[in-house]
Structure 1
Amino acid sequence: MTDIMHATDTRFPVTLLTGFLGAGKTTLLNAILSKGPAPKIAVIVNEFGEAGLDHDLIEAVDEDIILMQSGCLCCSMRGDLSRTLQDLVTRKHESRVTFDRIVIETTGLADPVSVLQTFLIDPYLAENFRMDGVVTVVDAATGPDTLNRQFEAVSQVAMADLLVLSKTDLVPESASQAFDARLRSLNPTADILRADRGVVPTKALWDLSGLRHQARPEQAEAWLMPAADADPLCNLSGMAPAPSPAQAPRPHDERIGSASIVLDDPIPHAAFDLWLDTLILLRGPDILRVKGIVHLEGIETPFVFHGVQHLFDPPVPLHDWPGGDRTSRIVIIARDMTRSELVHSLDMLRARQPSQETNAQPV
């Protein structure tokens, strides 16, 4: 984890578009493909028939690629994801297609973990593509019931960098706000964007991850900070608020836990490696995401790291970090781990800090 990449990242950015059945992915997908002229986007879907593409946007049809009037293209997945992406890159190098970034639409029942892991495990994908963000579409009308019934939907929310809330016009504002609060309890660090008749500003979908060489320090921090952090200086916190006693039982929600830690002083190499190795060894399969900005002793430049279960992206240095700020922040989102377990894990890091008075309280 302490080997930090310094080369410029020229890989294609990839956005993972997920959401449960009927949430509104198709509407958002058509909106993405209708925009132009830049950036040019390659969208990968399982089958064209399932995508529900607006045929008024289609300019030309190939065997497994549809060209759109905007200059974007839609590609039907043939075989596995790696072969489909290799074929796209080959066509681009041969000047048969053009694109600047890629959007992958998952099926409604898909667990984003498996797709994220594919980009870390597959050597070709790891070398040529980087995950730019996970966008999850959530239906404001049927979403609460879906979360109650389907744990896959809860996982999709917990994994997101951005939550797009659709069909808000179909529910009272009070119900929409209550659902907002529930989503934030499942994923405190994801922004929530309300779609206007199923459409959002396309630019809002890009550059979500803080794990990129072009990210500014404030962008990396925003990737880690709760959307409404009442006390950003607290040293250790369970990020998700406790449910109100009056709330109906939400068994799937209780399976998701999150916690964060803020450390004012650089972390010893050995302490950070021991903490991370222990977390992965004991609870690796339950870790949905762990991410952070970390200052290590003896290294002036902090780095951003990100992992899914037991697999991690190469860490990225933040060379423009403001001088004098040595604060580290780490966030964990996990399933089937209590908040006390997560806090106890992070306490391993706090124990290696210089003796000081801390003010720990829930956010």
Structure 2
Amino acid sequence: MAANKKVSSAVLYGKKDLRLEDGEFSAEPGKGEVLIGVQSVGICGSDIHFWVDGHIGDCTVVAPTILGHEASGVVIAIGEGVTNLQPGDRVAIEPGIPCHHCQYCKSGHYNHCPYVKFGSTSPNNGYLTNYTIHPAEYCFKLPDHVSFDEGALLEPVSVAVHACRRVSVGLGSKVLITGAGPIGLVCLMVAKACGASVLIATDLDSKRLEVAKSCGATHTCLIDKTSTSRQVAEEVKRTIGASPDITIECSGAASAISAGIYATKSGGSVLMVGLGAPLATLPIVDASVREVDLIGVFRYVNCFPAALDLIASGKINTKALLSHKYALGEVLSAFEMAKSGKAVKVIVDCSF
């Protein structure tokens, strides 16, 4: 690649301070790395949190940071020692680069690596830019029939794969999905692919529940804002005629976690995917005496290959989630749309 290519990037400086900046890119891939021309980047809820609040949980914007961690692109050049990819290959990017040396990496739990460099989590740059360099081992070649937009969705689908593995969703499972946003919808689709026979989605928005139905929900439950968590739980049980075996909580609302605890069968599991209630008051005694396990989940580990197989085989249809697309020059409009709640999934086209 010739030096000093022009590049545009969506850079977050702090709370509500996202700027589209022009510059130059001249870096070349090092050993084990590839140079990627970024094509598609999905806007995640965490990107919105960083933009609106300047932080998400304990992760705070500490330096100007390029946002976006759901990405795909095309390999432009390869560095020394790269054998799994060639220039021209279309790839999805796994955004977390672990250290490979700590106890978590060595035990196969690299998602807990304390030294991980995760794209778009300050100060690590993400992929809302035209070019990036990334380790080849964390790039996954896309089949010709899988689009760049679908490739970008490997990241949230990997979250769903890890979630379903954590609670052993399987043949005949009855699963409650609380929150029918993008991550709830991919969890729903992956749970169905895992063999769940009953899938009930809850949300405050009827339009999101319509999308959930199209994605494979067998039942839906529109939540009244005035309803208590117990009332929501009873409505869920009435709707499916049983208690769910598993709840996958995707809204981040404390009330939804509580509803999941009340609804889930004794001996079942509540998995907390959504992040939004760092200090929540929950019915812990109810969970304890009925042995309802509360399980955390963080990103994913070794899930991109399975996510790619699900998309490439057609077992899940992520195209159904792709509702809006913007050029990189329209990135502020893209973030406004994603924040509005009117979109299912917003994709930014970063190609020249």
User: What's the TM-score once normalised by structure 1's chain length?
Assistant: 0.26
What TM-score do you get using the length of structure 2 for normalisation? 0.27
